[in-house]
Structure 1
Amino acid sequence: MGQQTEELIDVLEQLIELLESDGDMHWSRWMRKARAMLIDSDYSGIAYLRSAYGGMGSFNDLMLGQNVAGVGYSWTPRHVEMNDKLEALRNRAAQLAIEIKRSL
């Protein structure tokens, strides 16, 4: 397993922790599956991870810290910090996945 793959696994672990801290189970399961595939040296995990990005309702569209309140939404106190971290991790995961795919 290469250094970039190890870094991607670490980034996925951080994403999982962040997603679950906000109660998101859909995307955290997705990231857990991609992570497990990579740990098993199953590089189809790269394609699986990349399939989360793009299109309506994709991982790119996710915003953390939203609560449904009646007919609208409210934000948790840490939503800006959470979404900044999400954006950084999401972008790093995508970048690493592209770099790993190129090297295979």
Structure 2
Amino acid sequence: MGPKTEELICILDQLAIVLESDGDTHWSFWMRKARALLLDSDYSGIDYLLSAYGGMGSLNDLILGQSYVDGVLSWNPGHVELNEKFIELRNNAEQLANAITRSQT
């Protein structure tokens, strides 16, 4: 396992933690599954991770820190910082996954 893969595994763990901190289960499970595949040296985890990006309803569309109170959308405290961290991790994961894919061809 190369250093980029090790870094990606670490980022996927951080992504899952950030997502779980906001109550997300769908995408946090996705990150944990991709991480588990990579930990087993199963590089289908790269394709699995990259399939989360792009298209309607993708990871790119996710905004954290929102809740509904009496049917009205409200922002949770710290939502700006939470989304900044999420976007940074999400982008780093995609860039690393693409770099690993390019290095395999």
Query: Same fold by TM-score, threshold 0.5 exceeded?
Result: yes
Render the CA deviation track for 1:52-97: whole Å, top value 9, x for unaligned. Answer: 0001110001111000123331010110000000000000000000
User: Which residue of the partner structure matches residue 80 of structure 2?
Assistant: 80
**TM, length-normalised to structure 2:** 0.97
Counterpart code for 1:49:
L
Tell me the secondary structure at the aligned position of residue 67 of structure 1.
strand
RMSD (Å) for aligned C-alpha atoms: 0.7
**TM, length-normalised to structure 1:** 0.98
Runs of 4+ off more than 6 Å: none
Q: Is 1:57 equivalent to 2:57 in the alignment? A: yes
Tell me the secondary structure at the aligned position of residue 24 of structure 2.
coil
User: Which residue of the partner structure matches residue 95 of structure 1?
Assistant: 95
User: Which residue of the partner structure matches residue 37 of structure 1?
Assistant: 37
Tell me the secondary structure at the aligned position of residue 41 of structure 1.
coil
- Tell me the distance in 1 between the aligned counterparts of 2:86 and 2:21: 12
Unaligned runs of 5+ in 1: none
Q: Percent identity?
A: 65
